[in-house]
Amino acid sequence: MPIQQVIVPDIGGAEGAEVIELLVAVGDQVVLDQGLIVLESDKASMEIPATAAGTVVELLVAEGDQLAEGAAVAMIDVAEQVADAAPTPGEDEATAASDAPSVGDVGAEQKASAVKEAPVAKETPVAEAVSAVNEAPVLPVEAAPLALEVAGEIYAGPAVRKLARELGVQLVRVDGTGPQGRVLKEDLQQFVRKVIREPVGAVTGGTGIPSVPETDFAKFGEVEVTPRTKLDKLTAINMHRSWVNVPHVTQFDEADITDLEEFRAGLKAEAEQRSTRITPLPFLLKACALALRDNPKINSSLARGGEDLVHKKYIHIGVAVDTPAGLMVPVIRDVDRKTIWELAHEVAELASRARDRKLLPAEMQGGCFTVSSLGNIGGNGFTPIVNTPEVAILGVSKAAIKPLWNGAEFAPRTMLPVALSYDHRVVNGGDGGRFLTRIVSLLSDIRQLSL
């Protein structure tokens, strides 16, 4: 009976990608390329597909396991080929639920005990010190890589949880050294020893910003609590890190894209022949690439704590994509060397793979600059947060027809609001103004894109 082993393929060098969902069970029939499990790394969420059609005879992983390239996932009996098999029962529900990470075997009672504020014995020095640490804001990821877990995902036994409640320690701040990061009693004791050796006044977090107190929203009405996806939490961490470390400045302008829209409408038939869609985004990317070429300071990054400035000789641009699992930013490489058609095809492909959670971590790395477009969602402006270590990001809002004075009369023109946020440690107002003006000029006269 031919049995085929499914392994984790090349996932772009990601180490320790976590199994957050099992999409099939033993005995399920699967078709070629049907998703078996969902892996989530620090950069992306992706499904691992079946490499053959057949019956799942063994699952070799469990939720919470950390996998790398080459790890065994499942065994499939391919003796009986399954052609055009329907999705397994419950698959739609599993897919819909995949936005939220599994909490393994942590029960509702344990989760509730983990998130409930523990009583603190104010009369003891240990409790006072621990309370000060509990009230401190969570550090950025570089400073506290193991403390950034939500309560529902803490692995700890009942005895450890009881001891933590007695000591007034939030387990979210304790580094677990047991299997799969499980918090042991020794970890708790080590944490308390460390806390009482440090001056209470010194525990202020990375920025000294006071934390926001927890609120019991259920006191005011009915609520529903759902865990955030790992990708959501990592995005929040990265955005917070950028905001507190980067002095942001945002400049605004509008581009007259009337001629661009007329030209784009004329390409509709050719786009259908090429089996693609021609949106404004490829033109935006091309304009940004040429502006980066003409303004190399925007295509740089700080290094060695700000001592050096790295000037990049390549132009890779990230595109923010809104997905059910959270925000993803696939990177399009060598934008300056690609045609509008090539960019249109690559944008559509990467966006689709991002929404299907099939992006590899390597496809989200190496960006020089980011474009965040709200497209038809709406709004006439926003201030995007720089995606460090990049030094600038372009925010694009919804185009609108406005009257524009042409020297003789007001004429209707299609105007596109754009906003450039940048790191003021690297980019000054003149740099930002020249860069944004160049983008506006290129979008207003797309003939320049071919020069």
Residue with tokens 């107002």: 429
Angle ∠(68,177,171) on CA atoms, nearest 5: 115
- Give the DSSP letter string of 145-185: TTS---GGG--B-HHHHHHHHHHT--GGGS---SGGGPBPH
For 134, half-sphere exposure in the C-beta direction (CA atoms, 13 angstrom radius) is: 22
CA distances to 52, 177, 387, 391 from 46, rounded to whole Å, are 18, 27, 22, 28
Q: Among residues 240, 316, 345, 424, which one is catalytic?
A: 424
Closest CA to 325 of 123, 17, 98: 98
Residue 118 burial (CB count, 10 A): 19
d(CA 258, CA 413): 6
Closest CA to 323 of 11, 99, 100: 99
d(CA 64, CA 67): 9
Inter-residue contact 77 to 54 (CB < 8 Å):
yes
Closest CA to 200 of 139, 120, 125: 125
Which helix (DSSP H) or strand (DSSP E) does residue 231 occupy?
Answer: helix 230-245
Instruction: Output 49-52 pairs: Cβ under 8 A, ≥24 positions apart.
Output: 50/6, 50/74, 50/76, 51/4, 51/6, 51/76, 52/4, 52/76, 52/78
- Residue 240 a catalytic site member: no
| Residue length of the chain | 451
End-to-end CA distance of the chain: 62
Residues forming the active site: 424
